[in-house]
Amino acid sequence: MTEDMRTEEFSGELESADDDALQTPCGGRKRRFEVPAGSKKMRLDAFLGAAAELSRSRVKKLVEQGDCLVDGAPCADADYRVRPGQIVELSMPGASDALAPEEGPLDIVYSDADIAVINKPAGLTMHPCPSCPSGTLVHRMLARFPQLALQEGPRPGIVHRLDKDTSGLVIVALSERARLRLIEDFAQRRVHKTYLAVTRGVPPAEGSSDLPIGRHPTIKTRMAVVPEEKGGRCALTRWSTLYASPSGRFALLAVRLFTGRTHQIRVHLARAGFPLWGDAVYGPNDKTSPAARQLLHAWKLEFAHPVSGEPMSFTCPPPEDFPRAMLALERCMRRVILTGMPGCGKSAVLERMEARRIPVWSADKAVAAQYLPGADGWRLMRQRWGDAFFDESGRVNRTALTRLLAETPGMRRELERMIHPLVRDSMETFFRKAQERGEGVAVAEVPLWFETGWTCPGADIAVIVCPEDVRHARLRETRSWSDAKIAAVESWQWKPEDKIAAADLLIRNDGTLDDLDREVGAFLDALTARQKSEEATLEERWRALWSGEEGQARD
């Protein structure tokens, strides 16, 4: 556009062109253009379309409804040929009552004369609709960018949309030329959009869906996978996993949209078996969900500036409900495995845990239960060894069993292979039920934890530390163990220093019972601090992911 064809806004008379813009009776503004010298005759709608940066269809409508003057005379003929030197005035209608500007928070990431990039909060509707005639993003934009009132229709500046409860980046066209170019860029898929999504369950590391999407055949407020022959439109979504929860409860995905169908990400991921947390429309109506809305955030935008052509790239981290909900999902019950050498005081520690209303489980008691007549372990032992160590009532004679284990090479290992799977199943059932009850911590005492080779992902391994002379004295006094028995039992176990080296946390028990009570309290405090530290590390990692410091979303 030449300097002579530039737009001027005026107040009443032509010679007052530099004054503030005049408000017309309908709340709009007038704009004045001079046909540049030396130009050829051209259609009125073509001239105004280029000068005012409006679509030809909109110019034609304004002209035909009597909003145009040529040299001061009304002109309702869009085909009229304007000549060099003529003055053309166009009255631009203002916003209707439904689009009255409204003050409200507006997170402007970027703006210039033609576009604004906004970080839309969850809960804010994009534009007016029958169910939401006011209080929308458009109303707030009009208060901040009054030039939007020059655009036609109830959705000025809106070139793409986010669902009400989806947060993140949107582009708003502040000029007609930007609007027309952005509409074309979106249609031609030249605008690249990447979202963050938190799914129920963990999908494969990479995935995609090209299932067509259309209006749900029976529920008109929903979208669904619909065959193209029945009205579905092509849709393409690709995702990559940025973080997968070890618990399997959720994953954080980077989702790339190649088309812009309504609810596209939500429909495709739900159809793949991984609906978004908080999405009651396409996922289960879970009243215990820590997410108050679908966890979907427009994370990245990449596009060419609609006027200058300059490459534009924006990244916006999600709001605080993302890490808050993810932490709640990650925050499983703390599983503590309590172990140590014979005589270290495992039973005394369990008693103090129980006194604090912490659920506890004992491997020794689980073994004893398997030795009771009729139990699975009891049946297996009778089948293998007959009456070798059973008394007349059919009960296991522990003294006879211990003697036989010492005299028969390999028998202890064989017995462990029978009993340990049953005991471990009992422990896992204990942990599962405690978690279902919503317990924060549950403790399992397993004397031979390291020796069995068992694992419990995510569990805290706590070793009770006690000097050897103190332990041996306790075993002699409270259990009447001989030195030979102490030596035999300890020979089956790891050395104390090896257990300590493999522990996550230690509980010292070399003093009085009051001392032990304080030690247990300190241990639980350390467990809480450990949880907070792990959560802080996780949150830091997530923030690094969506700030671009760790990993990138893949195309």
**Residues listed for the chain:** 555
Rounded Cα gap, residues 176 and 310, in angstroms: 18
334-359+439-536 adopts what CATH topology?
Rossmann fold (3.40.50)
Alpha-helical runs (H) found in 235-301: 264-271
Q: Does residue 339 contact residue 349 with C-beta atoms inside 8 Å?
A: no
CB 234 within 8 A of CB 259: yes
Quote the CA–CA distance of 450 and 456 in Å, as a whole number.
11
pLDDT score for 162: 95
Distances (CA, A) of 523 to 12, 405, 500, 517: 81, 36, 15, 10
What's the DSSP call for residue 394? S
The CA-atom distances, in angstroms, between 548 and each of 258, 263, 316 are 21, 26, 10
Burial 476-485 (b: 16+ CB within 10 A, else e): eeeeebeeeb
Q: How many CB atoms lie within 10 A of CB 439?
A: 15
CATH class given for the domain over 97-329: alpha beta
- Domains 97-329 and 334-359+439-536 equal at CATH topology level: no
Q: What is the CB neighbour count within 10 angstroms for residue 207?
A: 17
Q: Do the beta carbons of residue 283 and residue 276 sit within 8 Å? A: yes
Tokens of 270: 């739900």
Token pair of 11, please? 């107040």
Contacts of 455 (CB under 8 A, 6+ apart): none
102 touches 140 (CB < 8 A)? yes
The residues spanned by each domain of the chain are 3-92, 97-329, 334-359+439-536
Q: In degrees, to the nearest 5, what angle opens at C-alpha 320 toward C-alphas 315 and 324?
A: 130
* β-pair partners for 167: 297
Pairing of strands 334-340, 460-465: parallel
- The secondary structure of residue 99, as a DSSP letter, is G
Burial classification of residue 92, based on how many CB atoms lie within 10 Å of its CB (0-12 exposed, 13-18 middle, 19 or more buried): buried
The H or E element containing residue 225 is: strand 223-225
Q: CB atoms < 10 A from the CB of 219, how many?
A: 10
Average pLDDT per 10 consecutive residues for the chain, totaling 555 residues: 31 26 48 88 89 81 91 93 93 65 95 97 90 89 91 88 96 94 94 97 96 92 93 95 93 96 96 97 90 97 97 97 95 93 95 96 95 94 92 89 87 92 96 92 96 90 96 93 90 93 95 95 95 94 85 42
Q: Are 264 and 235 in contact (CB under 8 A)?
A: yes
Q: Is 158 helix (H, G, I), strand (E, B) or coil?
A: strand
Nearest to 508 by CA among 469, 467, 459: 467
| 5 phi and psi angles, rounded to 5 deg | -95, 10
Q: Which residues contact 517 (CB under 8 A, 6 or more apart)?
A: 352
Structure tokens at 346: 């495992």
Instruction: Fold for 3-92, please state it.
Output: 3.10.290
Active-site residues, by number, are: 163
Kindly list the distances between the CA atom of residue 106 and the CA atoms of 2, 171, 172, in Å, as whole numbers in the listed order.
Answer: 35, 13, 12
Are the beta carbons of 288 and 302 closer than 8 angstroms? no
Identify the pLDDT of residue 128.
86
**At residue 453, what are phi and psi to the nearest 5 degrees?**
80, 10
Strands 108-111 and 115-120 turn out to be: antiparallel
First-residue to last-residue Cα distance in the chain: 38
Q: Rounded distance, CA 181 to CA 191, Å?
A: 11
Instruction: Tell me what pLDDT residue 38 has.
Output: 84
Question: Which residues, 6+ apart, have CB-to-CB distance to 359 below 8 Å?
Answer: 430, 434, 437, 439, 442, 443
Strand, coil or helix: what is 101? coil
